[in-house]
Amino acid sequence: MNYNEAMEKLKKYGQEHVLKYYAELPDEQRNTLIEQIDRTDFTVIGQAAETGKRGTIAPIKAMTIPEIDMGRERFERIGMEAVKAGKLGAVLLAGGMGTRLGSDAPKGMYDIGISKPVYIFQRLIENLMKVVEKAGNYIQLFVMTSEKNHDATVGFFKEHDYFGYDKDYIAFFKQDMAPAADFDGKVYMEAKDSIATSPNGNGGWFLSMKKSGLIELVEKRGIEWLNVFAVDNVLQSIADPVFAGAVLEGGYSVGSKVIRKVNPQEKVGVMCTEDGRPSIVEYIELTEDMLTQRDENGEYAYNFGVILNYLFRVDKLVNLLERKLPYHKSAKKIPYINEAGELVKPEEPNGYKYEQFILDMIQMLDSCLPFEVVRGKEFAPIKNKTGADRNPTSARSWYFPRTPWPPT
């Protein structure tokens, strides 16, 4: 793309101001800006819906631990057959930084060890290796990074010899970015040579894989299912054959690992149906009536929280790309340069960031299995450096010597 082509694209979307400082930039920065304009999808600004507009929410049934135990051997056999046949891959969502942990490094590089260094990335690889060793073959792992942490993440894996994993079965890709705009839809500039952007949300991972050319690798390896999981939960089982077997046997398009909430107010997203289709409702969206609603067995109706560990059918994901996942906009504080070219860091929300949500991926598919797991074996998220829970100390207490749950 050259200058004239960039200007034509910007005119189409009413964003000509992006090239305001072009004439004063050195050649390298000019090229950087033109390249960013070329890859930026400005259509998201006009298409995005307000975050928070939901359909009719209702409870959904989960496969509970007693039900799973009854079919555990059968599920594990079915799942392990898929793993051994190379039909199962894994996707680690690792685009975040450790800012809330007091670190300026990628979150996966955080050390949770007690007597020696133990890194989040290391723990997750070790969890995956348990299945690899049992199956006798490696599982293709895709690691999603971000523009901010890609080089550091790749370098960290290389430095630690991929934590014993076969590097030929690890592929890195960057999460796609979406432009950030003011309330009138004009994109912000974060520098004279750079459009303000933010990651395209936890639902954008498959589109990001496609743009990185990795769908071809999925097809080449014959992968039919992708286990997507978050970087900050060090206990979770990855490529879990029991989970996979239950989803495969039931003929579901997607499975979601869930935990039973410790109380109705626990701050986790909850599996539900929305307009009759499987979905997720965030804890802040649960009304008082929903929090206290009981099912026919006297259990809380909205009782199963998601842990961001999903199993998706690849062919269904490919179909989603053709249908296009919606974008949502939410008001945020967005740093920008003003008319004088000075950087401004606002104290109040001054525009929108645009994201795709994994709940939309689930809702656009025809079926989902909420699959209950034991909290003490699969849920130890690390969100903050300090606090009552979800911090490195609470995660260590789960991963190393076990403590009873719930805490007294």
Q: Kindly report the number of other CB atoms within 10 A of residue 280's CB atom.
A: 26
pLDDT given for residue 355 in this prediction:
87
Structure tokens at 221: 């390896």
Residue whose entry in the numeric block shows the structure tokens 């007693």: 66
Residues 6+ apart with CB under 8 A from 285: 52, 54, 57
pLDDT given for residue 52 in this prediction:
58
Q: By C-alpha distance, which of 350, 263, 268 is closest to 309?
A: 268
Which domains are seen in the chain, by residue range? 1-39 (no CATH), 63-259+306-396 (3.90.550.10)
384: confidence class by pLDDT, cuts 50, 70, 90: low
pLDDT given for residue 79 in this prediction:
97
In the chain, % of residues over pLDDT 90: 60
CA 260 to chain centre: 21
pLDDT given for residue 264 in this prediction:
87
Question: Averaged over 369-390, what is the pLDDT?
Answer: 77
Gap between the terminal Cα atoms of the chain: 62
- Tens digit of each residue's pLDDT (9 = 90 or more) over 176-235: 888 999 999 999 999 999 999 988 888 889 989 999 999 999 999 999 999 999 998 989
76: confidence class by pLDDT, cuts 50, 70, 90: very high
296: confidence class by pLDDT, cuts 50, 70, 90: confident
Mean pLDDT (the chain, rounded) = 88
49: confidence class by pLDDT, cuts 50, 70, 90: low
pLDDT given for residue 329 in this prediction:
86
pLDDT given for residue 100 in this prediction:
74
pLDDT given for residue 50 in this prediction:
61
- Tens digit of each residue's pLDDT (9 = 90 or more) over 81-133: 999 999 999 999 998 777 777 777 788 888 887 778 888 999 999 999 999 99
pTM for the predicted model, two decimal places: 0.86
Question: Averaged over 54-63, what is the pLDDT?
Answer: 89
